[in-house]
Structure 1
């Protein structure tokens, strides 16, 4: 897991997004294939979207990357809504097949792009967490891919100019586990914000997800300042 010195493009791990996508494919697709179809109508943390809608968006985004269909405005709310609507009449199996193909094929394309597409992998992992959360699966924003996701989160927070934040991580028992992360960038005259929480709560804070039932200590910044999507 990256922490401490700022990550530069010269030390970018080009294979990291692909590893995260492959890890998520292997963990996530069996869950989806084994879930009764009626549960795909459950609402998610994404306003207005069901589980099926989230998965349609995820598959569409990855296949756009694979096929190089990245015209201006792609991944905007309007573009995402069109992609989801285009898949409304697809059989669920086709939605899942497209998603699995994207998980499998997008990694090399993202690696070759040089960095701009790296956040796509992080977004896919977060959306998988949204689905697990809707299904009531424990550890929705944790699991095997969490370490790679945290690395991408650090990089994304710096690229998007979020306030400098030093986060001390807690284990499942609420005890400090010795890990810390430095996210965001320094601003003149502003002291670093400090955060103590577990990994799922950090993900929720930085992606604007619900904080109901979480426990954390934050000083020197407001919740909304930490979100990558604010």
Structure 2
């Protein structure tokens, strides 16, 4: 894994890569699909997830990052404010945010990097709701993995060595703790993302030693 995890442009590249695959997918789906439940986000529909994502990026673009933003209450208000919008309007706002937010996230010096990673995870939630293959993958995956490494290191998360079936080099996530050997993960990268994002995973498709699944959730 050779992507520079300290590159300030990394979140913007992730958003751009995801925009180029997600927006055409959304524009190709009928309105009925936006009402599908997003299983990874209990109580939310696909449209709710997209409205939350578009609102969050618009706040970055417009500099509206007041105290309490991105709390559950703030997220609910953002979704409610878009209740009368068409699905196309929500997608338009999301496209604008994914296009314009990257440089502003870079200027924030790392404080908003997790937002870009969260947007990518939510895109996976939407694809998962649609039944699309490779929901938590695609061209943005290398950038997402690099941001995941960065986030686990900055939060001094538990150390983990990941041998990925679909990535040539292993990942070393979390803090360096001399007195604690790193946990070990063997499996595919999409399942690793699901574990760190607190999403459901299929039993038996991976190996995890030295840590419990719930300990990996970096968004909890």
TM class, shorter-chain normalised?
A: over 0.9
Name structure 1 gaps, 5 residues minimum. Answer: 172-176
Q: Which residue of 2 aligns with 1:164?
A: 159
Cα deviation digits, residues 170-227 of structure 1 (max 9, x gap): 13xxxxx542000011335322101101010010010000113661100111111111
Distance in 1, matches of 2:53 and 2:33, equals 17
Q: Which residue of 2 aligns with 1:225?
A: 215
Distance in 1, matches of 2:2 and 2:159, equals 15
Runs of 4+ in 1 over 6 A off after TM superposition: none
Q: Which residue of 1 aligns with 2:187?
A: 197
TM-score (norm 1): 0.91
Distance in 1, matches of 2:14 and 2:204, equals 25
* CA RMSD in angstroms, aligned pairs only: 1.5
In the alignment, structure 1 residue 19 sits paired with structure 2 residue 9: no
Distance in 1, matches of 2:160 and 2:196, equals 11
Name structure 2 gaps, 5 residues minimum. Answer: none
Q: Which residue of 2 aligns with 1:187?
A: 177
Q: Match for 2:122 among 119, 127, 133?
A: 127
Q: Match for 1:29 among 19, 23, 26?
A: 23
Matches within 5 A, 1:1-230: 1-2=1-2, 12-44=6-38, 45-171=40-166, 178-187=168-177, 189-212=179-202, 215-230=205-220
TM-score (norm 2): 0.95
Distance in 1, matches of 2:81 and 2:203, equals 36
Distance in 1, matches of 2:141 and 2:172, equals 16
Distance in 1, matches of 2:131 and 2:89, equals 24
Number of aligned residue pairs: give it: 219
Distance in 2, matches of 1:109 and 1:224, equals 32
Distance in 2, matches of 1:31 and 1:105, equals 20
Asked if the contact 1:157–1:184 (Cα under 8 Å) also holds between the matched residues in 2, the reply is yes
Structure 1's 214 and 97: CA in aligned 2 closer, same or farther, altered over 3 A? farther
Distance in 2, matches of 1:214 and 1:134, equals 22
What's the secondary structure of 2:117's corresponding residue?
helix
Shift of 1:162: 1.2
